[in-house]
Amino acid sequence: MKQRMADLWRPIGGITIDEPIPTLFLFHFYHIVDMQRVLNGDPWNFEKHMLILGAIKNGKNPNLVLLHMVNFWVQIHKIPVGFKSQVVGENH
């Protein structure tokens, strides 16, 4: 997973990936542009598993980062004409 994500993201400043505890990965980007591109380019997944990403500051405990939300798009086909509005989509 570490090598495949690094190959996919191709950070210009480089990256190191650690696994301090099982299933928690710490991605260290060496250039802020790389980190912002990855954080803003979600959703990311690996082998059908959603990656939930968050940012931490140097010296902070990565176990305290809230990893409970991820943005993603849903595409729905054949919606009846009267239901194609933002209000309907947000309320149903």
Q: Render pLDDT for 42-91 as a digit per residue (tens, 0 to 9).
A: 789 899 988 999 898 888 888 888 888 887 778 889 989 888 888 887 87
Q: Render pLDDT for 61-70 as a digit per residue (tens, 0 to 9).
A: 888 888 888 8
Residue 65 in contact with residue 54, Cβ under 8 Å? yes
Residue where the block lists tokens 């690996």: 46
Residue 43 in contact with residue 14, Cβ under 8 Å? no
* CA 60 and chain centroid, separation: 19
- Tell me, what's the pLDDT at 92? 59
pTM: 0.73
Cβ neighbours, 10 Å, residue 71: 7
